[in-house]
Amino acid sequence: MSGVRPRSSGRHARIAGAVLALVLVVSGCAAIPTTSQPNPVPQEGGGQATQEVPEPEQGLDPLSVVRQFVRASARPANDHAAARAYLSESARERWQPDDSLTVIRNEFGTVYLGEEEAPDPENRRVVSLRASELGRLTSDNAFVSVSGDFEEPVRVGKQPNGEWRIVDAPGTVLITESDFSESYFEVPVYFFSPDSSVPVPDPRYVVARPRSGLSARVVDLVLGGPSNGLAGAVVNPLGESAELDSNVDTAPDGALVVPLTGITEESEKVRERMAVQVVRSLQHVTTSRIRLLSDGVALVPGTLDWRPGDLPAYESITSPSSELPGLMTTEAGRIRSLDTGAPVHGPLGRGAYDVESAAQSINGQQLAVVEDLGDGGRRLRVGDYGSAGQVVDLSAERLTRPTWRPPSSNESKSSELWTVRDGKSIVRVQRDPDGAWAPQPVTVSELPDEGAITALRLSRDGTRAALVVNGTLWVASVVRTSSEVSLRSPRALKSDILTSAVDVDWSSQDTLVVATSSEWRPVVRVSVDGFEHDTFNSSNLGPPTEAVTAAPGRQIVVADTHGLWTAGEVGAVWVPHPHSRPGAEPFYPG
């Protein structure tokens, strides 16, 4: 866990705390480029001056030159001038690293290669730069989790003044995990789910300094659209034609002015969603009122200035109601309440069917169950809460616990759920206009064929899917077209440490909780991009864990070989669930 940023009650609470620490005052902000290696541009009205780059310490040996070069790469200002200071004059002119950052562990190695690589050790040395790669910050400012070893030879030469300098620099910018956390600020940039009209966070990372340009960099990301990993899974109400009419600036009355132009959509509802995008994204970097303008007038008629509290509430669509405490399946094939331990009403609580696993829709109105037929087969039942449900024409030897797509509103019912058939085929079960449920395939051609899919959970906004494939955690975006539904841009998260995952659930729109069979990491919390992870306290758990459920604002509930356990925070000791029983598997709505 060395170098991983601590998390309090959630990633957004941590971000808010960082905002207060930064004491951001946005003044005269220019629209700074949003690449992962942005060059600060001159500020109007007496903005922050270009910082002077100090020369490297004299007398550094080749190994130290390479190490200091990596550490200086954390300062991207002026086209990485701090890192270029460790290059020879000719290398400074030639070095054009790609438009991504490679994030490595804090501990990295620099060793000399043999004489065959450097026949003139008095004037030329080759240093092998060795590190463990954690991921990459791509050109869209999104972090992509990558686990593996990094090794590259770096040629170093003695200059006429006797100092060692790099003569052939790596093709990508390397940055340690702690330096990345210090130099880049995480911001959830918001877009909307295509059907349920729910704001969806898209974690991005912007250069933290100069502080005066932070808000402008965030606005640029909003206007630039979703990251590659979410492309097609969300919509951008601002559209492709919206842009800044002038600089993001602070008005004399203290409001942060975001002057937009190119807004062609006249619908007030859509304009309100535009306001949600900008204000929700900026709330993590400023506490000022946000003044949203479109061609000089209020973006939303009648409302000039916005605070987060002025926005419509969307959480009820993606978070189960407090009146829905969650359920559990038991060895007897019944469904019981997590709140009271009593069987639910109807045949599914009486044990009329041997229920192996189940899922409750996010508004609690529907249940889907996997029924064990006793002959090695499984089938799916879907229906209203309290009913036996309809039998779906979907025969299988195995079916994963179902997962519901959210409805379009709190009052409506869901029309779709997903499951995995026999570890390979992902199936979405749709309700037709007559009320019958029928299976449809999900295209998964981009998902590597690396073993059985043993768990699948749709995010409660419906835009992402988390999967456990051969013990590894994957996240993919859900892309819908008129002809198909597919999983796109699949990415393995923390595959170096999560090698024995057995179950997963969403604790928020951008955070997952994973149960594993590991004795050392039985339960792990992971950010949706894989950059952050925290291991829960293992006290009292009897590995292997077998199931987990999570939801916004809820206790984590885990099933192990002895029963059910609950914990609220990463460091908390697991305590027995009041209605624990062997073989029970818990599930919150969703």
What would the DSSP string read from start to end of 110-167? EEEPPTTT-S-TTTEEEEEEEEEEEEEE-TTS-EEEEEEEEEEEEEEEE-TTS-EEEE
In the predicted structure, residue 48 carries a pLDDT above the cut 90: no
**Alpha helices (H) in 141-267, listed in sequence order:** 177-183, 214-224
CATH 2.130.10.10 fits 317-587, yes or no: yes
pLDDT band at 118; cut points 50, 70, 90: low
Burial of 243 (0-12, 13-18, 19+ CB in 10 A): middle
Least confident piece of the model among 63-72, 110-119, 576-585: 110-119
> pTM for the complete prediction?
0.88
Residues 222-230, mean pLDDT to the nearest whole number: 97
Per-residue pLDDT, 314 = 82
Looking at residue 38, the DSSP 8-state letter turns out to be: P
Q: List, in sequence order, every residue forming a beta bridge with 130; answer none if it has no partner.
A: 109, 151
Looking at residue 309, the DSSP 8-state letter turns out to be: G
At 521-576, the pLDDT tens digits run 999 999 999 999 999 999 999 989 999 999 999 999 999 999 999 999 999 999 99
The answer to whether the beta carbons of residues 157 and 165 sit under 8 Å apart is: yes
In the predicted structure, residue 19 carries a pLDDT above the cut 90: no
Query: Tokens 């036996």, residue?
Result: 388
What are the CA-CA distances from residue 571 to residues 10, 254, 337, 521 (Å)? Answer: 13, 40, 27, 13
Quote the mean pLDDT of the chain: 89
**Alpha helices (H) in 225-267, listed in sequence order:** none
Q: Which residues contact 28 (CB under 8 A, 6 or more apart)?
A: 43, 44, 45, 46, 47, 212, 247, 249, 250
Looking at residue 568, the DSSP 8-state letter turns out to be: S
At 239-292, the pLDDT tens digits run 999 999 999 999 999 999 999 999 987 789 999 999 999 999 999 999 999 999
- Write the single-letter amino acid at 402: P
Looking at residue 5, the DSSP 8-state letter turns out to be: P
In the predicted structure, residue 10 carries a pLDDT above the cut 60: no
CA distance 340 to 344: 10
Q: CA 60, 66, 67 angle in degrees (round to 5)?
A: 90
Task: Determine what percent of the chain is predicted with pLDDT higher than 70.
Answer: 90
Higher-pLDDT residue of 173 and 49 is 173
Q: Which residues contact 253 (CB under 8 A, 6 or more apart)?
A: none
Question: What are the residue ranges spanned by the domains of the chain?
Answer: 1-99+170-312, 317-587
What are the CA-CA distances from residue 12 to residues 149, 335, 543 (Å)? Answer: 31, 34, 31
What are the CA-CA distances from residue 305 to residues 300, 312, 351 (Å)? Answer: 10, 15, 56
CA distance 2 to 107: 10
Residue 101 structure tokens: 């950052």
The answer to whether the beta carbons of residues 395 and 421 sit under 8 Å apart is: no
In the predicted structure, residue 405 carries a pLDDT above the cut 80: yes
Higher-pLDDT residue of 147 and 418 is 418
Per-residue pLDDT, 116 = 66
The answer to whether the beta carbons of residues 366 and 413 sit under 8 Å apart is: yes
Per-residue pLDDT, 55 = 87
In the predicted structure, residue 1 carries a pLDDT above the cut 50: no
Residue 163 phi, psi (nearest 5): -90, 145
What are the CA-CA distances from residue 565 to residues 155, 299, 506, 533 (Å)? Answer: 55, 49, 17, 21
Count of all residues that appear for the chain in the document: 590
Sign of torsion, CA 20 26 29 31? Answer: positive
CA distance 233 to 222: 16
- Write the single-letter amino acid at 361: S
Closest residue by Cα to residue 526 from 457, 478, 584 = 457
Looking at residue 354, the DSSP 8-state letter turns out to be: -
CA distance 245 to 463: 31
Higher-pLDDT residue of 25 and 586 is 586
Burial of 351 (0-12, 13-18, 19+ CB in 10 A): middle
CA distance 584 to 17: 38
Strand 556-559, strand 564-567: pairing:
antiparallel
What are the CA-CA distances from residue 8 to residues 12, 329, 511 (Å)? Answer: 9, 31, 13
SS (H, E, C) 406-463: CCCCCCCCCCEEEEEECCCEEEEEEECCCCCEEEEECECCCCCCCCCEEEEEECCCCC
- Write the single-letter amino acid at 112: Y
Sign of torsion, CA 35 38 44 46? Answer: positive
Per-residue pLDDT, 16 = 44
In the predicted structure, residue 63 carries a pLDDT above the cut 80: yes
CA distance 507 to 554: 8
Number of neighbours of residue 458 by Cβ within 10 angstroms: 24
What are the CA-CA distances from residue 17 to residues 13, 205, 261, 323, 537 (Å)? Answer: 6, 16, 32, 31, 24
Q: Which residues contact 373 (CB under 8 A, 6 or more apart)?
A: 354, 379
- Write the single-letter amino acid at 452: A
- DSSP element (H, E) containing 464: strand 464-469
What are the CA-CA distances from residue 330 to residues 350, 401, 560, 581, 587 (Å)? Answer: 12, 14, 13, 8, 12
What are the CA-CA distances from residue 537 to residues 563, 565, 566 (Å)? Answer: 17, 12, 11
In the predicted structure, residue 15 carries a pLDDT above the cut 80: no
The answer to whether the beta carbons of residues 588 and 361 sit under 8 Å apart is: no
Q: CA 558, 559, 565 angle in degrees (round to 5)?
A: 55
CA distance 273 to 22: 28
At 304-327, the pLDDT tens digits run 999 999 998 887 788 999 999 999
